[in-house]
Structure 1
Amino acid sequence: MVNWGILGAILVPNMGGWISAFTMRGQVKSPDGKAWYQLLKKPSWTPPPWLFGPAWTVLYSGMGYASYMVYTECGGFTDASVLPLALYGSQLILNWTWTPVFFGWHKIGLGLLHMLALDTAAIACTVSFYRITPNTGYFMVPYLAWLAFATCLNYSIWELNKPVNEKKSDGEESTGEDDKF
């Protein structure tokens, strides 16, 4: 017999991630056929692109299962589950919206700020889950580790791609438009 609650809790974060990724399809490509992200300077420790899909599927599934555990441990949507599940929903929304900020708008610096807000929300969610039952917090630990890695990667890409100062025709220095968040 299928447990629709567990299935739904696992599918919801994955579906949000798929929708977020799907919105980035058809990105404008450079004349040589490369997408914006492919043209950025990245650190040597950047994972290969094929790794992100499987990694996020596992992470979303783990955190979805943890949310189901919190829901059932608290007896559904009760006073005890409101804060942990609200934190969960908030960090999921931040997670899903990072992709359009970084990849869609090409805002690396704003993406980094967004990621720091996500990190904070995910830590708060994990702590609140752990307080319900430690196992739920443990299910969130791989996610926190990946977010820490992703934050370092976002920061490194931001640092590597800051525009160099350009000279204006009248001799003044300009930092260029991409310098802004």
Structure 2
Amino acid sequence: MPYLRVIGSILLPNMGGWVSTITMIGQVKRPDGKAWYQVIKKPTWTPPAWVFGPAWTVLYSTMGYASYVIYKDCGGFTKKSMVPLALYGGQLVLNWTWTPVFFGLHKIGLGLLHMAALDVSVVACAASFYQINPRASLLMVPYMAWLSFATCLNYSLWKLNRDDEKVN
């Protein structure tokens, strides 16, 4: 039965990401059929759209497995696991809600503030994981690296588009 907990821990963050993305699909198209994100100004180093799906699948899976390691090492939902797993859950909610803010509301500036809160919460989560199992914390490093990149991208998008009142 432990394998079901591992699978559930990996699937949970992925499912939240899928739901967050799927709910935005209908909201990102403009009347001319182009997606809002396609027409805003972007830096030359913006990755192609196809990169995001596989990247997030790997990141959600590794962070999900890290949460399982903490759960297992603490003996389940115990007093010892309460703070690290609450931090994990909090950062997941911030992660999942960034997409509706950025893509749904077209609020690049608010998305940047949201991303900053996410960055802080992920560092706090990884630090709390480190106290229990340093390897679980290391599983969060690719996620933190990607978020650093995503924060820089969000900032660049805000800077390039901040004069357009439709995106801020």
Question: TM-score scaled by structure 2?
Answer: 0.96
Between 1:84-93 and 1:20-29, the stretch displaced more is 20-29
Q: Which moved more, 1:33-42 or 1:96-105?
A: 33-42
RMSD: 1.5
Say whether residues 1:63 and 2:66 are aligned partners: no
Structure 2 runs not aligned, ≥5 long: none
Aligned to 1:128: 128
Aligned to 2:25, what secondary structure does the other structure show? coil
Q: Is the 8 A contact 2:109 2:162 kept in 1?
A: no
Q: Which is bigger in relative contact order (C-alpha 8 A, separation at least 6)?
A: 2
CA distance in 1, matches of 2:29, 2:69: 43
Identify, as 1 or 2, the structure richer in helix.
2
Give CA-to-partner distance per residue, 1:93-139, whole Å, 9 cap, x none: 00000000000000000000000000000000000001101100000
Q: Does 1:137 align with 2:119?
A: no
Structure 2 residue aligned with 1:34: 34
Cα distance in 2, alignment partners of residues 27 and 85 from structure 1:
32
Q: With structure 1 as the length reference, what TM-score do the two structures score?
A: 0.89
For 1:86, the equivalent position in structure 2 comes to 86
The answer on whether the counterparts of 2:102 and 2:108 sit within 8 Å (CA) in structure 1 is yes
CA–CA distance in structure 1, aligned partners of residues 28 and 116 of structure 2: 27
Q: Residues 4-45 of structure 1, C-alpha deviation per residue, up to 9 Å, x if partnerless?
A: 000000000000000000011112533542110000100111
What is the aligned length?
168
1:53 corresponds to: 53
Q: In structure 1, what is the Cα distance between the partners aligned to 2:125 and 2:48?
A: 29
Query: C-alpha distance in 1, partners of 2:158/2:73?
Result: 41
